[in-house]
């Protein structure tokens, strides 16, 4: 009886220039730093990409080290179920979870959605992000993207009423969603929500800091409010219903597609609308999230569109329409 060939885990840090700069309330950056996990076995290779996020205390170097510490377990045949117990939710587990799924699909000769018993993903419309800036700069950037059907507007506190008014003037037909990245406060919450409602915004993402968002339960929300930094995996869903109408599911928060799919099902059962989000990264990081996009009211998978270049064989984008991945990329 011949034993199965052993698996090997390799990890690397990659740097991808951003087209211009990407600016939110916490600062600006000009490159996306990703960590890629590659699991190989018997001539087959599975890959997963993650983006360590300083907001959650993650760094590329620490993520690399956390993944390298998994090499012996991966070589010993650790599966995705065991992975959920061994590693905490976060960027590192996301890269490995997605790499193991990719390898599973290739080993089985199936697309990953068939392997998981999920419907085949269809093309979907992604939001396109407008970075934080002055009202004039944001209006100019919005005007260049005004033909896109869904725009995600980064806001940052003081002056956000002027920013969103300028954006709406520059894109009269686009659906607008807003991401404040925790920059508002209880004493200006209702003012800025009203400004967004007046501009016809559909959704406001994470207006208050995580852990300091009780005020959302004490007001009548004029538009839907979505949790991002306040929600990570299934364990963080409980108690959010009084404060939020939707949850933003990101693979780097959930620790991979395995937990993200379970979280999406649980969130819908609790009555939340679903948003699928991303960090600025390549198509390899977006590809697994396409399975989640089928359950989402809002899809925000524009990471590759914000880069100066994407990796070879990346997702196909036709304007704001994004297509499912080819097997050679992932899954």
Evaluated on CA atoms 148, 55, 215, 162, the torsion sign reads negative
The rounded mean pLDDT for the chain is: 96
Given the residues 154, 169, 212, 220, select the one marked as catalytic.
154
For the chain, the structural domain boundaries read 8-110, 124-322
Residue 184 has pLDDT above 60, yes or no: yes
Residue 58 has pLDDT above 80, yes or no: yes
Report d(CA 307, CA 30) in Å as an integer: 9
Per the CB < 8 A criterion, the answer to whether 252 and 51 are in contact is yes
261-276 pLDDT, tens per residue?
A: 999 999 999 999 999 9
| Cα–Cα distance list, 55 to 31, 45, 95, 224 (Å) | 17, 31, 18, 24
The CA angle 124-118-115, to the nearest 5 degrees, is: 125
Q: Are strands 124-125 and 321-322 parallel, antiparallel or unpaired?
A: antiparallel
Evaluated on CA atoms 226, 229, 235, 240, the torsion sign reads negative
Choices 3.40.190.10, 3.20.20.120, 3.40.50.150, 3.50.50.60: CATH for 124-322:
3.20.20.120
Given the residues 106, 152, 220, 250, select the one marked as catalytic.
250
Q: Once rounded to an integer, what is the mean pLDDT over residues 40-61? A: 96
Residue 4 has pLDDT above 70, yes or no: no
Residue 3 has pLDDT above 60, yes or no: no
Residue 182 has pLDDT above 80, yes or no: yes
Going by pLDDT thresholds of 50, 70 and 90, the confidence category of residue 1 is: very low
Q: Once rounded to an integer, what is the mean pLDDT over residues 30-52? A: 97
Q: Once rounded to an integer, what is the mean pLDDT over residues 146-156? A: 97
Residue 94 has pLDDT above 90, yes or no: yes
Q: What is the pLDDT of residue 24?
A: 84
221-260 pLDDT, tens per residue?
A: 999 999 999 999 999 998 899 999 999 999 999 999 999 9
Per the CB < 8 A criterion, the answer to whether 67 and 96 are in contact is yes
- The architecture CATH gives domain 8-110: 2-Layer Sandwich (3.30)
Q: Once rounded to an integer, what is the mean pLDDT over residues 184-205? A: 98
Residue 327 has pLDDT above 80, yes or no: yes
The CA angle 46-127-308, to the nearest 5 degrees, is: 60
Between residues 20 and 273, the one the model is more confident about: 273
Report d(CA 23, CA 38) in Å as an integer: 30
Residue 324 has pLDDT above 70, yes or no: yes
Least confident of 154-163, 193-202, 203-212, 230-239: 230-239
Angle, helices 135-144/160-170, rounded to nearest 10 degrees: 30
Q: What is the pLDDT of residue 25?
A: 72
Residue 106 designated active-site: no
What is the reported pTM?
0.94
Going by pLDDT thresholds of 50, 70 and 90, the confidence category of residue 118 is: very high
Residue 2 has pLDDT above 60, yes or no: no
Report d(CA 23, CA 223) in Å as an integer: 24
Going by pLDDT thresholds of 50, 70 and 90, the confidence category of residue 16 is: very high
Q: Give the start-end residues of each E strand in the chain.
A: 8-24, 27-41, 44-50, 124-125, 128-130, 150-154, 175-179, 201-205, 224-227, 246-249, 273-276, 298-299, 317-318, 321-322
Residue 8 designated active-site: no
């Amino acid at each position: 009886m011949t034993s199965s060939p052993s698996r090997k885990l390799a990890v690397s840090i990659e740097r991808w220039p951003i087209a211009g700069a990407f600016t939110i309330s916490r600062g600006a950056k000009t490159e996306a730093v990703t960590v890629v996990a590659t699991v190989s076995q018997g001539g087959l290779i599975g890959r997963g990409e993650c983006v360590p996020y300083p907001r959650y205390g993650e760094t590329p170097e620490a993520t690399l080290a956390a993944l390298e510490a998994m090499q012996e377990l991966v070589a010993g045949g650790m599966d995705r179920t065991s992975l959920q117990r061994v590693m905490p939710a976060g960027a590192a587990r996301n890269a490995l979870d997605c790499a193991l799924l990719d390898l599973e699909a290739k080993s089985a000769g199936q697309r990953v959605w068939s392997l998981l018993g999920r419907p085949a993903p269809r093309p979907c419309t992604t939001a396109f992000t407008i970075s934080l800036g002055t009202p004039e700069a944001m209006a100019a950037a919005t005007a260049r993207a005004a033909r896109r059907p869904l725009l995600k507007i980064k806001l940052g506190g003081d002056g956000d009423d002027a920013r969103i008014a300028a954006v709406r003037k520059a894109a009269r037909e686009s659906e607008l969603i807003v991401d404040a990245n925790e920059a508002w406060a209880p004493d200006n919450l209702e003012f800025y929500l009203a400004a967004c409602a007046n501009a016809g915004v559909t959704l406001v993402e994470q207006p208050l800091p995580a852990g300091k968002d009780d005020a959302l339960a004490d007001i009548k929300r004029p538009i839907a409010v979505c949790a991002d930094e306040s929600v990570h995996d299934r364990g963080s869903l409980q108690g959010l219903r009084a404060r939020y109408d939707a949850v933003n599911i990101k693979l780097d928060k959930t620790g991979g597609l395995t937990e993200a799919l379970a979280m999406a099902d649980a969130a819908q059962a609790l009555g939340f609308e679903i948003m699928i989000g991303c960090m600025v990264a390549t198509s390899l990081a977006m590809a697994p999230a396409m399975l989640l996009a089928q359950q989402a009211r809002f899809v925000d998978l524009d990471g590759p569109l914000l880069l100066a270049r994407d990796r070879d064989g990346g997702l196909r984008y036709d304007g704001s329409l994004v297509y499912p991945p080819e097997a050679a990329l992932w899954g």
